[in-house]
Structure 1
């Protein structure tokens, strides 16, 4: 029972109130201890505005217990305030109780769940106020109700309180009445959103430990002070917290606005409707100047890799666990938009920082696409692995494959031991015959990866060995699929699906193994691989057996806005000197691959148009006085497209001529 006079102490077990009630006089109110925690029900304290919390003394004991039975506190989650109030109205109707107004109910919520905060998610005009740190229990019957089912029960008056100030893209605490209570029609997708949130991972660790900017490697310059660095670190973390709020509530469209607010590229309407105090704490011009400071770029890159990895683990905590297709599609659409959102939000930001940010977010988007595809394959394959007739047919067809011939053809390419290949063949057949679940197959696949890579653990050669394993695994599985195709195997479709899944899952496992071995996050590993691929495609020198490609930093003259220098010497060291034409419309591209020791620099000049930012370039011969030493050859690399406009170096998608 709930006593409205003085303070009452309740001890409960499960969802039942204890029958033994000990009355304890308390000025602050009542304490309810449940298996999930201890809750204080205030009865005579004052709120932030000095108004007595008299509404709590009118709360029914059934209402208090109803709150404890259906809601729980948790880090990194939130619920719309309107949704909670709708649930409360339904409860009052079922219990024949007179409902409190929204503001009073809000105070009761904060009294029961101590430490609850309020935040607004959404743009002005479409925003919704949320209780941050609370969620519906998984076994609560409230999960089945939609907002429409309780909409007719809502109170008509609109309650006004003190205005909430939008700061740092978050809403400050408001212990008073609702400042924005919308009695209009609620979005029918709210219930679906709450359902989807059950499939998300724990967001309590989504904010990694951002280390400080290492200013010891380079002195501060351009008027940058240590206070500016510390302010940036603080607001960057706050910015990350706001992104987590949006992600855990599946409010993906808010990410673009958050980025625009941080980089000060908001529309006029956004500027008028929000009080973004980032500008007060770190002015835009100072922020953009700091973006040219290399240690800050490293800080952002390192932080983004860690942060985006944490977000991946929130959105897709288990790549094999079934998740709704609608959630999968929402994540894929989110990934598809990320890069364009960020580029638009960072318009005018120094190119060095843009490249750093875009590189990390591109790796994040690619990871989301890969993991959702892997999850989709897993659900399709699960049905096959649970079908006894299909498994029997697969076994029959697999036993007809000439594995000796497969090994004979593949051994020259892969150079794998016959005994190991035979062991994998037998283990695969045994696991298939056992009709193991998808999760059991995952354990077997991980065992294969561990067995192959164990000899390379702790060595610098580990990443290369991991990549070689993936190539060999793919080659062998292709040979088996080829044999099944030639035999017109009835289970070819099932094998093809299983092969796609296992290839993707092997990639997933190896990616994480390499990340652990190199003390990086998987996203950081893939982000750096992407940079390597871009430069590798630019040089396209894979056919040169003895040539080590090196990228020279180069000196970019002020009159040449696009100047890319890619060169190499026989000993693997970049050529020191970089020559450029005095003509403002030219830039020099050098690639030297001497077969014998050579000390000279042979250059080839490529024509560009710095005004129109032309992607195509043409070559002109070097001066006749330039002679190639005997046995030397010069390979000219021509840029055919650029990363972006402005001062961005044309490093991507280049061809060799």
Structure 2
């Protein structure tokens, strides 16, 4: 009878109830000395134990102790004796206990001897019937001494009485163990509730009842309706909340909102989907407001009543505003702290962890006087400050250490940190930076901007600190971020009308000039031109000082150098690398006025090019060093690229090509044409700087960050809101990336230094984070366009770097082992290869394949005689692919099948080489064929890309794309045709 009542009262706990009843037996039976019960919070442990004791035993036969309330051994012992004696401190007994017990020895003695309540009554413990001691939240016993827990577990043995100690905890018993070992209790686990059990528990709080419908008959809310509501609560909140008490609390507050459309007559009981849609905004709001206890139940009821009185338009605007203020992602409470910890680990140097996160202060050495003063690193505005270098990878252990430091509270055991890390990785908020196959030493990068993490920090109430009205102080624990942000905002304030006019005047008056890079223009002369410009055009304007004007000059011409040139006593500071756009007379003001009357060469060129297609205007590369047409950047016509193969380190600044001036984009608003022209000039200078830095293997993060943070506000508005301007910016990026690839890789096998390979790999892995941080605050449309073309560029750059490395490795083996490779090749069986490839040869028989195999022998012979290098092999592969494997009329599926056939031929050749007994060059052949296979796949990919682009052009003929990303020239194989 008792078992059935308890099973009906506690769904999902039948097994645990039956086990406890069986262990307890009759009151006079001997029982186990100790039982340890553990499980997740709100899994019914305490409720089940109390209910069993209440229904089977008298109140004086068991004592229930909460270890949080009784936080000292004395309180624990005295409360236990008081409950066993059915003694309650009151006014009559002067609020005293039965007996004072200070330690475990006195507690054991009291149990053995009994306690005298008065002269007539003495209470004995465990002599005839079992006494139970229930210790809830038993993990707090670990703070009361190392021996107390094990003394309680052996209490029956120490006292010689029939006493059973039941410990209830959310922590497994392994956390209670010590090195010396101890008595092992019977361990019982309360598992998590299943969905069916949870729904049944939620439903137990409701009974069938009638509600009055406005203007209609009463409606009955039966068990089926309540089950549907309970399932909705479970599906919405169970992912973030496993606590059954919290779910019951949320269900009690949301149920009146759920049934309100029924009372108003707006819905029926059977229309559950409609009820769910009407209540969904309140469910989303309840996740933050109720679960995090930002508001009380009364405040929640008042707020929902106010929202209910709003009309649909006002409610939708309010909900949209709140969603925007919350940030981009609705993350759980502790997951936000985990993301903040990842951001701090990415942007704070590890040596500062002790200063910001350790409980003890950082030990600092006392500075002594004397010695040479070391240069101080500028962490606020320097080029090497962490915030502009992009996120750094960090071990997961360091992130967790910061996480546990900033939450400053004991984390609940129901929260799975590893699951939260996986969720952040799935959302791409964290990025794995090392190999996934490594199970230990996982490293991550934080892939969010400062504005994003600032919004997350501002949305985190400090509940764990007892300050729910305050937010997480991010700036206090992030090295120099606040100061760097203020510096960046100060630089963004260059948006006054005067500053805009100066930026436009600088762009129209001066230009980059590589011929003038060692001399330039005197800095004082440029400032005099500025003063004269103000005198003529803005006489009432107060001029900027020299330092402020110099910042504007560097804004228009990033990367410009200032050098002191001249003889002793006559030297002056010069801006090196710029020149006047027009020949300048000795009188700056007259020249300036003439410029305002007559168009500049750049303006004339823009007007003359208006009849050209957009791509032809943007994709032309001009070199100001006076090269002949045959010396322009491109591919050699004879198919041998050795004449143009220069190591990357030989590229000098004077050899860097100059991009043609960008044509001002058309705008949807004709009045914004001046801003569009200024954007074209600024963006051209920016692209030229990026081109120079990448060709010289220099860091580009500072250049990217500086450009996008100093864009004037009017120009930023057309970049964010004008679709035509966005399209033009996308095309300019294509021109920049196209130029970089063509200069770095004049052919796929051009020798490139190892340092350049490492630089390109590092650049491709970090450039996305550079742009992610720099484009913070810009529109999503512009960001998505720029990131899309950047990812294509990175993909192609990585592809060419790998192919180039394979080509150089193969070329090295050809140079050193050509004779041995020829000897080994002559030992293989050509017939075996032909037999294996006979059934799928694309050359119409064995003759074509046999000719290609003989071609390999001829190439090896030429390599021994003339040292032809890897270039001849590239030409041979290119001819095979475009004459035999792939033709212009083939479909995409045919191209893929051709690549698979080539893979079969390669495997047959390597198999025969492996069967040669005394072959010494098998590794050399593997490297050679690895490059050949990679090049064949590359040409196949280019062919598929060109066919896809042709299909897109046929569907949308007005769309034109730059050549790098259209793959119409099958780069770089066009140099080998």
| TM-score where L is the length of structure 2 | 0.31
Specify the structure having the higher radius of gyration (Cα).
2
TM-score w.r.t. length of structure 1:
0.44
Q: Which has the higher helix share?
A: 2
